[in-house]
Structure 1
Amino acid sequence: MRYALVGGKRLRGYLVLESAALFGIAADQALAAAAAVEALHAYSLVHDDLPAMDDDDLRRGRPTVHVKWDEATAILAGDALQTLAFELLTDPALGPAERRLALVRGLALAAGAEGMVLGQALDIAAETTATPLTLAEITALQNGKTGALIRFSAEAGALIAGEDPAPLRAYANALGLAFQIHDDVLDVTGDAALTGKRVGKDKDAGKATFVSLLGLEGAQARARALIDEAEAALAPYGARAGNLIEAARFTITRNA
């Protein structure tokens, strides 16, 4: 479990802490929610890398968990990380019971059959059909597989504070899609030594991606437009949202 948590961008945990800061919530009060999101994300990567799923042997520049140990160990480590996430959300530091319950429910919806797991199921199903996905279908898939957990991460601060998460939801919807588009760009232009995972695998597998449908320049332009949307959604927070704006810009300039 610890091995699976090492490395990565920590973007989701960062979004939790920065969204909380918008409402005057100190980092130590929100830290359990940030850790919960990172644990949940790590579990998803461990299972996503399994031979029955994406069958990847490299993650964050190191052998994937099932390669370093074995499949059974990877499955159990992922299961334990998932349950740890919900344990962390019961931390009294996160506030009154009703707010902790909102966090638990929000993460469950983001991670389960209406969110991340749905996106993963759609991704697997797409591999068994001869008809490439349309742009709308890829967008729906990625809104679940990648976007749902990013959306929860950005909304978490508002949930901890008991405030309206709508502006942060709009920010995260644009950010999450831009993040995945840039991932598709990196799969074409990236270097495995920098990304920490295999590149070119989508093209090799014949998968439809934002790049295959929009072209490289078109995909990059769409990602930039989405970041503009994300920034505009933060207007109600004024200068306090500066770090979240920088995080959005980072998502389409990163090399990993």
Structure 2
Amino acid sequence: MPNFLVETKIEHKISGVILGVVVLLAGIVIYSGWRLSVSRLDNLVSKEQPSDKGDEAKQMMVAEIIKSGDIGQCVKVQGLFINGIDYEAVCRSNIARNQAVKNLDPASCDQIDNALFSKDECKFGVTLSKALQTSDVSLCATLSEAERPKCQLGYWSEQAVAKNDIKLCANVAEASDQTKCQDQYYVKRLMVEPFAVDCGKLSETMRFYCQNYQTVMRSGKNCDDVSEIRLQAACRDYRAKK
């Protein structure tokens, strides 16, 4: 594990439910959840005290090139390997990722080193963002077979919430994904209006969370008693406004 990691952060927004994807390109650490929106490179993250000041300076130089956005400058660190990590690839992959996000250009994802981060995941995030901004779900068809259904689910979930029309979930191809879309819609409603949702309309798993949430909200119990983390946060927000 290198002393400094170049961090790129992607977040996806689907129906008000949070999904964070944090990619430490030099360490390849990824965690994910439900919401998809994309943001640019944040900063250089220090995980421990550097043992080699020379390596630290080189890593800082890579970070500065990434900030410049000039992918041609990555050649300056050609052949730079620190702890087995190819920092030219880190440089190119970060800049390509940032350009893809900034320009809503999935083709830029092709310049990413797949060993650092999935090109398909990059294309998925950028394509979904573009589809939502242009209201064009047909863009999802340009993705790989594996990513296409997730893009369509994300699109129609967001549209159902934005237009307050759960019937839009019927546009999702798979029945199981239609259920997920409907759950996202109702969870969003719950977060805004705790008692406006009939929990019986949710899937079995989400029905439990819905009932638990409404019980806590009615009883005045501590929000820590809410089992689902998003609804727990919604509980605190709702009471803070009262």
Same fold, judged at TM 0.5 (above): no
More helix by share: 1
More strand by share: 2
Q: So what's the TM-score if we normalise by structure 2?
A: 0.29
Q: So what's the TM-score if we normalise by structure 1?
A: 0.28
Structure index of larger Rg: 2
Greater relative contact order, per chain length (Cα 8 Å cut-off, separation 6+): 1
